[in-house]
Each structure stands twice: as C-alpha cells, then as structure tokens.
Structure 1
Amino acid sequence: MRAAHVLIAGGGIAGLASALALGRRRHRVDLFEQAVAFAEVGAGIQLGPNVARRLQALGVWQPLMRVAAKPEVLVVRSAVHGGEIARLPLGNAMLRSYGAPYLCVHRADLHALLLAAVRGSGAVTLNTGTRITEAVARAGAVCVSSTGTRAWEGDALIGADGLWSALRTRVVEDAAPPRTTGHTAWRALVDQSALPAALRSTQICVWLGPRLHAVAYPVRRGEALNVVVLAEAAPAGDARDWDQASSLAALQAATGRTGAGLQALLEAMPAWRAWTLCDRPPLSGPEQMAGERVALAGDAAHPMLPYLAQGAGMAIEDGVALAEALDGCTAEDVPPRLARYAEARWERNAQVQARARRNGEIFHATGLMRLGRDTALRLLGARLLDVPWLYGG
C-alpha cells in the first residue's frame, strides 16, 4: 500500500494551493505549468477570514503577513455624489467573529508565497513548459500526455487549469465555452506615495453606480493601492486575454464620468488594464467537480464573477478540501475519496457563484431598485454587508 501519486494541471493559485495542501499530507505530487517559468500578474485579491484561516492551515501565515494589507473598515459610497451609504468594520471585528482577519494582497505576492512554500515542501515536482492536452484512465491509474512527447501516469489528476480548462471535459460533458457576461473590468495599481494625500487609503472603498461599481483597497503592506472598475460594457477584446492594455478614455467611454471624488482617483491612475468577465452557471451537483480519478479545482470547476471577491478564495478552499478528502488515501482509494471531495465542495461553490451573480445585479442597480438598495444599506449597514455563512465556513 502506498500514498497516492497526484498529478495537477495548472500552476496558478488553485494548482499551487492544491499541491501544497496535498504535499503536507505526504502525497507525491507532480504539478504541470504550461509557461516556461512560474509568474503571476493581475490585480489585488481580497481574502476574507474564511480564506485567511485556510492559508494559516497551509503554513504560509508569516510570509502572508509580510505582504498583506489589513484594512480596518469597508466603506460603501455613491459613485454619483460620493456620499457614504454604509460601512462594515473589519480588523478586530472580523477576528472576533470569525477567528481570522480580512486581508488584501496583490495576486502576484500570494502566488509567489504559495510557490515558495511548494518548493520548500520537498513533496512536489514542478514541471514547467508542460501543457497537459489529454488524459486517459487505465486500469486503476490515469495517464496524461503533454504538448511534448512525454507521458505521465498517476493515481489522480486535478484539473486546476483555469477558466478555459482543457481538462474540464474529462469530468463535465459540456462543450460550451464559458459565458461572456457583457461586463468588463478595468484595473490599475499605483504606489500610494505617488498619490495626493486625499486619495490615499487604508480602507476598502466601494462606489456603487448605475450599471457599474468601483473598488479600491491597499495591497503590499498598504504601500500600493489597487483600483478596479467593473461595468456593464462591451467586451474588451479577446475574452481569453485578461491583461489587455487600456486607458482612462476607454473606461470613461464605457462608463461615463462618475462623481468628482471617484473621478479624481481614476484620473490619478498611471495606466489601466482591462479584461472581459466570463463565468459559468452555478454547479448543479458533485458530478461536475469529480469523476473516477479526475477532479476539478478553482475556475476549471466553478468560474465566478468577482462580485463577492471569492474566486481565489474558493480555489484555495478547494485545495485544502482535496487534501482533507485524500488524507491517508492509498492509490486504490482514490475514486471514492475524490467523490467525497466533490460532495464536500459543490454546494458551497454553487452558492458563491449564485451570490456573485446576484451581487452584480444589486451593485449595478438603477431606478427604484437602486433607491431601495441604498435605503436598506443606510438602515442595516453592516448586517447586509457581513456574510456569516461565507466567512464562517
């Protein structure tokens, strides 16, 4: 009897979190990344206390604390006139309620610390320049082929290869591509020292406007500010490219001008990048996350809109849940253990997917729905902004 040999396709946050969690449970892991070198770009990430607890369990707490910002409050404002609508205490309030803080990090920093932990684990072999193109189940094992001539055989295969996963069809029999939502996101990053004092922030600030909203929060120990504008606007180029060059003019053409306070922040950004938002319908059952010796994690299984700030969080939760389901597993036990993983994860992921879609409708509301939303937020504030089922799960 031997521990399972797990193959993981994808070296992003989902793949690295899964590799680290499995390696800590003494499984042998081969991870395959199609790029010739590990790297991550992109925007900031909000890490709710549910995610912070998982990262603490993965043994990366100290390096995380060296790169994270720790906002004390989330403030919701009008994108039209800038007035405050509601606020949610974070900091010690989250610590008391959920046993972990609410953090903000840059995606590249989170990726780098997970990669360093994986490299230091001694249990994971990293294979770069290797894209998995095919997977075949054979007599108690799974065999994968890559863009090169080499093949690998393992006891389990985890598809963590993102929104446009090549391995998804090994689990889910749908040939449909991800849904293009008609929403576009623009992001910018700036050193806070380069901003006028009035535009610097230690908070998470959210502006709600008709058919759009914007978010700004500190990253990199608070030294940088991450700004994202999300709007119901025509797709910005190739949906597969989430790092397109853009401009303030393009953003304003799609969204119109906002109130003076938000507009001043947008105009202070040195550069803008854009990407088209895509998702899939919420999961409908565990069979959409695992089948026999193949399982999916992160966006390969459940891509979601960023309107609950939990895409990376659910990927990290998947990785920890995979390791828990496979704990003590031998090669022979893999199929029922992966089924256990899917049973443990699909409903929570589906709930987050559905809530993210619903939040998009609420955040971008117009007319009477917008007035009702703002009134409810002014009256109930933190009660509506807090998410106990998510942060406590």
Structure 2
Amino acid sequence: MLRQALIAGGGIGGLAAALAATRAGWDVRLFERANAFSEAGAGIQLGPNVVKVLQGWGLAGALQIVSAFPERLQVRCALSGQTLGELPLGASIAERYGAPYATLHRADLHRLLLEAVQQHADVKLHLSRPLQSFSQTAQAVMVQADDGPGIEGDALIGADGVWSMVRQQLLGDGLPRRTGHLAYRALVPQAGLPKLLRSQHVTAWLGPRMHVVQYPVRGGEWLNIVAIVQGEVPAEADLWDHSANAADLAAATAGCSAALREVLDAVEGWRLWVLHDRPPMQGAHQQAVGRVALLGDAAHPMRPYLAQGAGMAIEDAAELGHALAQALDPAFDVPTMLQRYALNRWQRNARVQARALRNGQIFHADGVVRWGRNVSMKMLGARVLDMPWLYGGGVRAT
C-alpha cells in the first residue's frame, strides 16, 4: 500500500525523519522554508545511543570521515582549573554500549543526512516552501504550503524546530519559554592555537552561573567551544543568532582560572544564541494527534546540558520509521501507529528534558552545592559521569 509522508522542516530532525520514512517504504515530501539546505550552529555531541541509529542506517563510514572520537570526557573547575572527574570514551565506551562517542560539526551531520536522503528517488525536497497550515480527517492530512492547491498525504511530521508552526496549530500551547541562559559559540582551527590549548578530548569547565564545553570536530582539526552563562538580552535581540560582544562573555567569566581564560581569549569572535525550551513532556498527546506527529525540538526542546537535543530527534526518527513501516500493513491504520510512536517516545524524551534541567543546576551551582558537586565527582569520577540508562537505551534503526 503506497503511503505518503509530509514533513515540515529540513534540519537534522526533518532529514532524519525523511530518511527513516523512505527506508520504511513511504513516499516522502519534505518542505523547508529556507531557499537552501544548511545548518547553522557549531559542534554537536552524539552519544552511543545515537551513533547506533546512524550506523543502522548505513552511515557509519560517512560518520567516520567527518567526526572526531574523543578518548575521554574530563570535568574541570572553572575557578581553579582543577580536574574534578573523568569518563573514558573511545574504545571503552564503544565496548560498553556497542558504538563510540562522536563529536562533529552540525553542518557535517546535516550534510551527511541530506546526501543519504538524496539517494532515494521517492523523497521530494521542496525549498522556499514553508508550511502555512494543515487540516486532517480520519482518511488524510492536507497541508497548505503556498497560494497553490493543498497537498494531501497520509501523515504529517512536524520537524520544524522550537518555533514549530505545526505544534502551534496542533496543540495551541503557546510559545517556548526563554530560559535566561545564553550560549556563546565559536569554532577555532586547532593548528592556529598554542599547543597547550589544542585538545582531542571533551572538557567541561563548571563555574557559578556558567560553564564552558570544548571538544574537537571535523576529524579533530577544529575545536568547538561553547560558553553558557545565565543572563538575559534585550527583548528586541534576534531570537537565535546575535552578533555577541566578547566583552559580555569576558565579564561573565572574569573570575575563572587562567587555564580557562586562555581558551576563551584564543577566540576572536563569538556567536550568541538565546536559549529556549519547554517543560518536560507530560504525555503522548504532546507528540502525536491523529495523523500528525511532532519530532525533535518541535516536540521536546531541551536545554543543552545533556548534549542530547539532536540525539533525541534522531531517536524519534528511528522510532517513527518503525511505526510507519507497520502502517503499511492494512491491519494497522496510520493514527494508531503514530500514537504508538508517541507512546514509545514521550517518556524517554521527558526524562532527558528533566535530566538536562537538573544538569544545568548542577553545572552552574555555587556555594555548598558546588562544593558537594566537586567532592562527589572527585570521589566517584566515572560512576557519576556515565549514564547507562541513556547511552545503553534508545531505538534500533529500521
């Protein structure tokens, strides 16, 4: 039985959904509002739970080319520079969870998925065509992409990000909330850094009301640096990309150790993101209704303190692929299978959202809480940093 999936959004989540849907035997039409496929941002971390999905889609070789595979994660005190704890990655985590821990540029992951999607003739990609509205019946879903006639399909997947139009029409639950956290991001070629600042590891520097994460991307040739501080910007500032003043970040990290200051001072320019999220999901009704399902940030935008935002979108896509494959059987109708998709995903997504919130409080702690955090990391090390429930869980690829 021929089925057609309509997908809103051509980012990482939308392309992952398109790949999963076509692998499940569906025709796909993807609608992207921009006039070219591109991915803004900088680095991204993929845990073994996500790498396993990409490997299952036959992308292991492509991922190997564009990624770095750090040997360890180390946590350091932003104020003293002291190492608080370490978690072995590399071969150790690959043996434990069946896949490595990868770090790469968001644009490289986006391009990898786009190239995989373009290999399938049953996927049609439409640029400069944002979806404006949709309606659904028991038999079909109809989308309006422009002034032309409506486009009918069997399912609509909202993968249109944190400001999702599909979510607004489907759930009508308002806009995402501003977190009060700002992310300053930069990419630096490692060859241009002093040797002492070059790194092939993931390093997290934890300080009061701020933290910094650095890790290699693009085969280790570049260093991705993200500094997240608690603070607000004027309401008229761009909602996701802002020409940040490095002086603001310097002021926020003025009390940090010389070791961290050297890393930050090596950056010539920063891009600023104002972070938004939603509360942890409360039920499957927030991920699918009838023939319309949400995926990734459209369903569960989260704070970046667990490095799983893109990862949960890719896991969503893999689970969606299972549901759509089953929906080809006349015995299973599409709304029922999308509801199963939602039931199988919302609790894990909610747990990741909640853990990311908690991590933010721990990372940015001060006073007695900061002291207790540091002591526990020194005493327990990898036992605190490892997360079997996350890295060992997830979804197998179709």
Name the TM tier (shorter chain): over 0.9
Q: Does 2:171 align with 1:169?
A: no
Matched to 1:306, the amino acid is P
- How far residue 211 of structure 1 moved from its aligned partner, in angstroms, is 0.7
SS in 1 for 2:165: coil
Aligned equivalents of 1:126, 1:85: Cα separation in 2: 47
- How far residue 240 of structure 1 moved from its aligned partner, in angstroms, is 5.8
State the match for 1:317 in structure 2: 315
Aligned equivalents of 2:254, 2:195: Cα separation in 1: 26
8 Å contact kept, 1:165–1:300: yes
- How far residue 61 of structure 1 moved from its aligned partner, in angstroms, is 1.3
Distance 1:367 1:139, change over 3 A: closer
8 Å contact kept, 2:241–2:274: no
Could you tell me which runs of 5 or more consecutive residues in structure 1 were left unpaired when the two chains were aligned: none
Matched to 1:359, the amino acid is N
Aligned pair partner of 1:184 in 173, 182, 185? 182
8 Å contact kept, 1:248–1:266: no
Q: TM-score, normalised by structure 2?
A: 0.96
8 Å contact kept, 1:159–1:294: yes
8 Å contact kept, 1:236–1:274: no
SS in 1 for 2:81: coil
State the match for 1:388 in structure 2: 388
8 Å contact kept, 1:183–1:233: yes
State the match for 1:357 in structure 2: 357
SS in 2 for 1:342: helix
State the match for 1:120 in structure 2: 119
- How far residue 307 of structure 1 moved from its aligned partner, in angstroms, is 0.2
- How far residue 246 of structure 1 moved from its aligned partner, in angstroms, is 1.3
Matched to 1:47, the amino acid is L
119-128 vs 360-369, which moves further: 119-128
SS in 2 for 1:171: helix
State the match for 2:396 in structure 1: none
Aligned equivalents of 1:70, 1:34: Cα separation in 2: 33
Distance 1:139 1:352, change over 3 A: closer
- How far residue 243 of structure 1 moved from its aligned partner, in angstroms, is 2.3
Deviation string, structure 1 residues 147-188 (Cα, Å, up to 9, x no partner): 3424211000000000000010343231x2111111101011
Q: Does 2:231 align with 1:233?
A: yes
- How far residue 256 of structure 1 moved from its aligned partner, in angstroms, is 3.0
Aligned equivalents of 1:311, 1:150: Cα separation in 2: 35
Aligned equivalents of 1:63, 1:51: Cα separation in 2: 15
State the match for 1:95 in structure 2: 94
State the match for 1:131 in structure 2: 130
- Runs (4+) of structure 1 moved beyond 4 Å? 236-240
Q: Does 2:258 align with 1:260?
A: yes
For 1:1-393, list aligned pairs within 5 A.
2-174=1-173, 176-235=174-233, 241-330=239-328, 333-393=333-393
- How far residue 24 of structure 1 moved from its aligned partner, in angstroms, is 1.0
8 Å contact kept, 2:205–2:212: yes
Deviation string, structure 1 residues 205-246 (Cα, Å, up to 9, x no partner): 110001111000000000000000011112376576322211
Q: TM-score, normalised by structure 1?
A: 0.97
Aligned equivalents of 1:15, 1:240: Cα separation in 2: 23
Distance 1:238 1:195, change over 3 A: farther
Aligned equivalents of 1:218, 1:156: Cα separation in 2: 39
Aligned equivalents of 1:139, 1:289: Cα separation in 2: 18
Aligned equivalents of 1:236, 1:61: Cα separation in 2: 43
Matched to 1:253, the amino acid is A
Aligned equivalents of 1:240, 1:288: Cα separation in 2: 27
8 Å contact kept, 1:215–1:227: yes
SS in 2 for 1:305: coil
Matched to 1:185, the amino acid is A
Distance 1:334 1:359, change over 3 A: same
Matched to 1:141, the amino acid is A
Aligned equivalents of 2:169, 2:92: Cα separation in 1: 43
Matched to 2:53, the amino acid is R
Distance 1:231 1:390, change over 3 A: same
- How far residue 60 of structure 1 moved from its aligned partner, in angstroms, is 1.3
Deviation string, structure 1 residues 46-80 (Cα, Å, up to 9, x no partner): 00000000111122111111000000000110101
Overall identity of the aligned pairs, in %: 53
219-228 vs 144-153, which moves further: 144-153
- How far residue 376 of structure 1 moved from its aligned partner, in angstroms, is 0.3
Matched to 2:34, the amino acid is A
Aligned residue pairs total: 391
Aligned equivalents of 1:121, 1:237: Cα separation in 2: 43
Aligned equivalents of 1:280, 1:41: Cα separation in 2: 21
Could you tell me which runs of 5 or more consecutive residues in structure 2 were left unpaired when the two chains were aligned: 394-398
